[in-house]
Chain A
Amino acid sequence: MTRQVILATLLGVSASVAHAEVVSPAAVVANEYGEISTSLTGVAGNPVRGAEVMTSRSLGNCIACHQVTALEEFPFHGEVGPSLDGAGARWDEAAMRGIVVNAKAIFPDSVMPSFYKVDGFTRPGDAFTGKAAPDALDPLLTAQDIEDVVAYLLTLTD
Chain B
Amino acid sequence: MTGQTKRAVAAMALLAFSASSLALWADEDADLVVNGEIEMIVRTEAPAHLDGALRTIYSGWVFRQDDTQAMQMDDFDNPGMLFAEQGQELFNTAMGANGESCASCHANAEDLTRVRATYPKWDEAHGAVQTVEMQVQECQTESMGMAEAWGQNSQEMLNMTAYIASIGRGQVIDVAIDGPAQATWEAGKEIYYTRYGQLELSCANCHEQNYGNYIRADHLSQGQINGFPTYRLKNARLNGTHNRFRGCIRDTRGETFAIGSDEFIALELYVASRGNGLTVEGPSVRN
Contact = CB atoms under 8 A, between A and B. Distances in A.
Nearest to B247: A130
Contacts of B195: 122
A126 B249 CA distance: 12
Which bucket holds chain A's interface residue count? 20 to 34
Contact of B215 (A78, A113, A124, A140): A78
A127 to B, nearest CB: 6
Nearest to B209: A111
Interface stretch (A3-11, A30-38, A39-47, A60-68): A60-68
Contact of A133 (B201, B246, B255): B255
B213 A128 contact: no
B53 to A, nearest CB: 15
B198 interface: yes
A130 B246 CA distance: 8
B205 interface: yes
B92 interface: no
A121 B200 contact: yes
B194 interface: yes
Given A111-B209, A113-B200, A127 B216 contact: no
B180 interface: no
Given A61-B216, A78-B214, A130-B246, A125 B255 contact: yes
Interface of A: 57, 61, 63-65, 75-80, 111, 113-114, 121-133, 137, 140
Q: What 7 pairs between A and B have smallest CB-CB spacing? A: A130-B250, A79-B213, A64-B216, A76-B217, A130-B256, A123-B255, A132-B255
